Amino acid sequence: MLARHPENRSFTWAPPRGPYRRITAAQAAQYDAAGYFLLEDAFDAATMADVIAAIDPLEARVEAMLRRQPDETLFIASAGAITFCPQLVTRSPLLHAFCRHPVFADLAHDLLGPDVRLYWEQAVYKKPERPREFPWHQDNGYTYIEPQQYLTCWVALTDATLDNGCPWVAPGRHRDGTLRHELTPIGWRCLDDVPEAVAVEARAGSIVVFSSLTPHRTGPNVTDAVRKAYIVQLAPDGAVALRDGARVAQDDPERQFPVLAGGVPPRP
């Protein structure tokens, strides 16, 4: 067994249990066994174009801010390499509405339960100027959340390929809960070598769906175009973050609004 996160004192994986609104029984079985699956063509090209149009100017401000930093770097973001644009729902009505899309509500129902909130969302743009990998990590390794098991929806805004930095996953390593992570210059890392790693290429509009406990990484972008992704994370209502011994409720009404309440999407 791999070393666990110090807060991970006990964990039992909860498999999805149907009936399902959006996913198939085969996808549910893959999620249970491997910790991920690919939901192909979840959104049409027009929707992705609208989402990109909403994100691009906000991402450009982040890139400009990074250019003004020492070494053009701030934590794990780096100008010309990789940018992270979080909490966009507070700045874009279109993205606020997108995170309430029936696709996300259905995935929340199928994989988490009847009462689910948006936990976190961010755009991640991987640039070709300075190709860089992103290390093996679990999403719950960045901010420790209880319950540990929440959902990441990695939406491919542009085609995600081996050449431009598609996600790689470590199948089956989600069942021990949150692993111990170490901080590196390019992000938190929980694993060094994963011989069984699987690359998950995704067409624009598709979603790489995986658990917050599934170790994953992305490779370098060695193309001449930006790889664009929007990450939407969903957590059970009542989730808390553990910070300095305190339990902080993840229920900010502006950015952590319900996407499912009693099994039904609430009205905006």
User: Predicted confidence band at 14 (pLDDT cuts at 50, 70, 90)?
Assistant: very high
Q: Which of 4-13, 67-76, 106-115, 128-137 has the lowest mean pLDDT?
A: 128-137
Q: What residues contact residue 176 under an 8 Å CB cut-off, 6+ apart?
A: 1, 2, 4, 8, 11, 213
pLDDT mean across residues, the chain = 96
For residues 160-166, average pLDDT: 97
pLDDT at 268 over 90: no
Domain boundaries, the chain: 25-256
Sequence-distant (≥ 6) Cβ neighbours of residue 136 within 8 angstroms? 170, 189, 190, 191, 192, 194, 215, 216, 217
Instruction: Examine the pLDDT at 1 and tell me if it is beyond 70.
Output: no
| Mean pLDDT within 173-183 | 95
Token reading at 246: 């305190």
Architecture of domain 25-256: Sandwich (2.60)
Q: How do residues 108-146 score in pLDDT, each as one tens digit?
A: 999 999 999 999 999 999 999 888 788 999 999 999 999
Q: Which two tokens stand for residue 187?
A: 């992000």
Tens-place pLDDT, residues 189-229? 999 989 999 999 999 999 999 999 999 999 999 999 999 99
Q: What is the pLDDT of residue 188?
A: 92
